Chain A
Amino acid sequence: MKEILTGAQALIRALEHEHVEVMFGLPGGCILPAYDPLIESRIRHILVRHEQGAGHMAEGYAHVTGKPGVAMVTSGPAATNLVTPLCDAYMDSIPMVGITGQVPTAAIGTDAFQECDTVGITRSVTKHNELVMSPQDIPMVVRQAFHIATTGRPGPTLIDLPKDVLQNTMEWYWPGDDEVLDSLPGYRPNVKGHPKMIKEAARLILAAKQPVLYVGGGVLKARAADGLRELAELTQIPVVTTLMARGAFPDSHPLCLGMPGMHGTATAVTAMQKSDLLIALGSRFDDRVTGKIAAFAPDAKIIHVDIDPAEQGKVRRPDVPIVGDCRLVIEELIKVLKGMLQSGEKQADVGPWRSRVSGWREQFPLAYDQSEAGAALKPQFCLEKLRDGAPDGTIVVSGVGQHQMWASQYWRFEEPYTWVNSGGLGTMGFAVPAAIGAKVGRPDRTVWAVDGDGCFQMTAQELVTASLEKIPVKIGILNNSSLGMVRQWQEMFYDERYSEVNLSGTLPDFVKWAESMGCVGIRVEDPQEAEAAIDKANSINDRPVVVDFRVEETEKVFPMVPAGQSNDDLILHESQMARREFLK
C-alpha cells in the first residue's frame, strides 16, 4: 500500500535517504512546514544567526568531508542571503544543496510577502536549480539535486519549495539510480579519460626536460592525492599546489614547490614560467595563477586534465586535453607510464631541472622581518607559532585577504582536506562559519580559523551558534586594524593614498565580543605572549576560543605579482630583490 506523506515529510525523508547527517539553517514563513517533521528526524539541524552563515557552514562541512553540505532557509531575504555561499561554492566546485522556501504556488508572481525569484536569482550561481510545483516531484528532485551536486564537477544545487507544495500530500516513492539517470538525459559527466590522449600525455611527460605538475582543487575533489604522489615520485616531477589544492601534496615532500600565483613562492612561480611542460591536474588557469596570460609559461606545452570539458581551452589551449576524473586519469597515466618504462622507453633527464629548481628554493625562501622590540607582532610570526603549536591533522580555515595568503604560505600542509578557504569568489567573512561547518564534519580534528579583523566583523555572530551548539572552533584574528590587502594595494599602486581602509584600532573589543558570545577571548600584543596564548587556546575544547593578535598594520604580502602583469615581474621581499636576476 502506498504511504501518503506531506511534501514536508517527503522532503525530510528524502534527505535522510540521501544520508544527510546534519543541515544548517534558519526557519521562516514559507519553509515552516519543513521544520515540523524535522523535530522527529535523526538529522541534526544547526540553527544559525544569519543565512549566509548556514551556506558557508555547509561549504566548510563539504570541504573537509567530501559529502554535500545542506543549508535550509526560507524565501525572499533568506534566499538572497544564501546567494553569496552558493556563488562561492560554484566558483570553488563545492558540493552543496540549498533548500529554500517559496511563497505558495498561487502567489508566485504577485510580489507576495517575502517573495523573490529565487531560481532566477540563483540560476547563474548554481550548477542546477529547480522550483518544485508538485509535492509528488519532491523525492525525484532531491535525488537529482544530490546527484548533480556530487558528480562530475561538483557544485551547488538549489531546491525551491513553495509552501503549499510542502503542505500538500503525495504518495511516497524513492526513485532508483536508473530512474534518476533517465530523468536527466542531458547530464552525463565523462569521468574516464580518453586512452589515446593519456598515451599522448605519457609521451610528452617522458620527453619533458623541465616539467611541472600544476595541481588544482580538482585533485582534491577527485580524491586523487595518493595517485598524484605516486605520479610525482615515479617521474620525479616537481609539484605546485594552487590555493585550492593546498594539502593535495605534502609541503614537506622534496618535490613540493608550494603555491604558485600572485602570492606564490618565487620557486613555484618561476618553475612554471620556465617549464617546458605543464601537467595541469584539476586546475583552471585562473588569472591569479597565470598573471598576464600572454606572458604565462611561454615555452610550456600543456597537458590539461579536467572533468569539465569547458575548462579545456578556456584560457590556454592545451596540447593534450583530457576530459575526465583526476583520480581515474592519474591512475591510468601511471599504468601507461610504467608500461612504457618497462618496455624500455627512457624518461628525459630531469636532474638538471631539479637542481635549478632547488637553487631557486634555497635562494628565495619565504621571508619577513621579525618585529623590533616593543613593536606590534608580525602576522607571519603569529602564523608560524600557530602552525608549530597546532596538533597534527589540524584543519585550517581562512577568510580572504592578506591573512589568507600568509596562512597558505606559512602553514605546512601535510595531508589533504586540512585547508578550507574561499578561493574563486574571495568571500570575506567565510572563515568563521566555514570553520564551524568543518568542525561539525570533523569533530575529531582541531579546527583553527585564521581570520582578519575585517572578515571577522562580517560573520562573527555565528560564534553564538558555535557556543550554543558546542562546536569548539578556534579563531585567530590577525588584527591589523585595517582592510590589509586593500591597504597594501593602495600603498603600492595608489601612491600611498589611503582611502577607506582603517577599521579602528580600538573598536570593537574583540575579547569582550568573544566573551559575550560564549567564547574564551585572549588578546596578544607582544611576541612573548604568543606561544602561551596559543597553548591555552589549544587546551580549551569545551567552547570556542578567539585570539586577537594585534599585528603590524604596514606588513605586506610577498612575493607578489601585480595584477595583470607577467609572472616574470615578481616583487620579492626587499632582502631578496637584489638577487632577483637569479630567477631569470
Chain B
Amino acid sequence: MSGNNPFGQDSQHHVLSVLVQNRPGVLARVSALFARRGYNIFSLAVAPTEHPDYSRITIVVDLASAPLEQMTKQLFKLVDVVRISELDPKHSVERELLMATVKVSPEQRGQVVELTNIFEGKILSVGTDALTISLDGSPSKIDDFMALLDQYGIVESQRTGRVALPKLDRTTKLRAVKTPKGGAR
C-alpha cells in the first residue's frame, strides 16, 4: 500500500462478503487459506452478524494475485464457510472508518476543524498540538480526506478496512440464515 489510495492505479480489488459459523479458529482458517494459496488481501473486517451463530468477514482481495473464481471456490471448501457473496463495487454499498491524529499548530486548528466539518467527520480528542479525528464514509471519501490531512501531517492513523453489503434494488432477494442445530456447533 502506498499513499492514500491503498489500491494503486491499476490494481483490481473486489469485495468478498463471507458468512461463516461463529466458531473459534474460523478467522485463522480463512487467513491461513489466503496465505497458503498466495492470495493477497487488502483489508479484512470481521464481526458477529445479527445472528450470534454467524460472523461476517468482509475481505477486500487483490485480483492481480489470483482469479476471483479460485479464491471463492477454495474459500468455500472451508467447512465453516456458509455463504460467499461477491460484491462488485458497482453493486454494493461500502463503508470504512478512519481515525487519524493530525499534527496542528494553534493557528492551523481552525482549518482542520473546518475541513473535518465539511467531510462530516468528528473531533474525538484535542491536544495542544494535535487533533484526533474520526470519519466514516466510502473508501474514496476517506482517501480524499486523508490526502487533505496529509499537508498538516498525519501522526498516526488507522483505517478499519471496508465493510460492505449488496446494494438494494428491485431484484434483490434477501435470504436470512438458518440457525445451525446440533450439539457441537
A residues lining the B interface (CB < 8 Å): 119-120, 123-124, 127-128, 130-132, 136-137, 139-141, 144, 148, 173, 175, 179-180, 182-187, 308-310, 312-314
Residues of B within 8 A of A119 (CB): 25
Tell me the smallest distance from the CB of B168 to a CB of chain A, in Å: 25
Docked Cα-Cα span, A139 to B178, in Å, equals 23
Contacts A123-B28, A124-B32 given: A185-B21 contact, CB under 8 Å?
Answer: yes
Docked Cα-Cα span, A128 to B33, in Å, equals 12
Docked Cα-Cα span, A180 to B185, in Å, equals 10
Docked Cα-Cα span, A187 to B81, in Å, equals 8
Tell me the smallest distance from the CB of B157 to a CB of chain A, in Å: 32
When the two chains form their complex, are residues A128 and B182 in contact, meaning their CB atoms are under 8 A apart? no
Is B102 on the interface with A (CB-CB < 8 A)? no
Is B180 on the interface with A (CB-CB < 8 A)? yes
Is B20 on the interface with A (CB-CB < 8 A)? yes
Contacts A124-B32, A148-B79 given: A185-B70 contact, CB under 8 Å?
Answer: no
Is B78 on the interface with A (CB-CB < 8 A)? yes
Residues of A within 8 A of B36 (CB): 124
When the two chains form their complex, are residues A182 and B181 in contact, meaning their CB atoms are under 8 A apart? yes
Tell me the smallest distance from the CB of B166 to a CB of chain A, in Å: 20
When the two chains form their complex, are residues B185 and A183 in contact, meaning their CB atoms are under 8 A apart? yes
Contacts A123-B28, A123-B32 given: A184-B183 contact, CB under 8 Å?
Answer: no
Output the nearest chain A residue to B69 by Cβ-Cβ distance: A313
When the two chains form their complex, are residues A123 and B79 in contact, meaning their CB atoms are under 8 A apart? no
Docked Cα-Cα span, A187 to B184, in Å, equals 15
Tell me the smallest distance from the CB of A189 to a CB of chain B, in Å: 10
Residues of B within 8 A of A128 (CB): 79
Residues of B in contact (CB 8 Å), total 30
Select one of B77, B81, B184 contacting A310, CB under 8 A: B77
B residues lining the A interface (CB < 8 Å): 20-21, 24-25, 28-29, 32-33, 36, 67, 69-70, 73-74, 76-83, 177-178, 180-185
Residues of B within 8 A of A137 (CB): 183-184
When the two chains form their complex, are residues A314 and B29 in contact, meaning their CB atoms are under 8 A apart? no
Residues of B within 8 A of A179 (CB): 181-183
Tell me the smallest distance from the CB of A355 to a CB of chain B, in Å: 40
Select one of B21, B70, B182 contacting A180, CB under 8 A: B182
When the two chains form their complex, are residues A140 and B73 in contact, meaning their CB atoms are under 8 A apart? no
Output the nearest chain A residue to B84 by Cβ-Cβ distance: A186
Residues of A within 8 A of B180 (CB): 182-185
Residues of A within 8 A of B184 (CB): 130, 132, 137, 140-141, 144, 183
Tell me the smallest distance from the CB of A162 to a CB of chain B, in Å: 13
Docked Cα-Cα span, A185 to B33, in Å, equals 20
Residues of A within 8 A of B32 (CB): 123-124
* Among all A-B residue pairs, the 9 with the closest Cβ atoms: A183-B182, A140-B184, A310-B73, A137-B184, A182-B181, A186-B82, A140-B183, A183-B185, A128-B79
Docked Cα-Cα span, A186 to B185, in Å, equals 12
Residues of A within 8 A of B183 (CB): 136-137, 139-140, 173, 175, 179, 183
When the two chains form their complex, are residues A310 and B182 in contact, meaning their CB atoms are under 8 A apart? no
When the two chains form their complex, are residues B181 and A183 in contact, meaning their CB atoms are under 8 A apart? yes
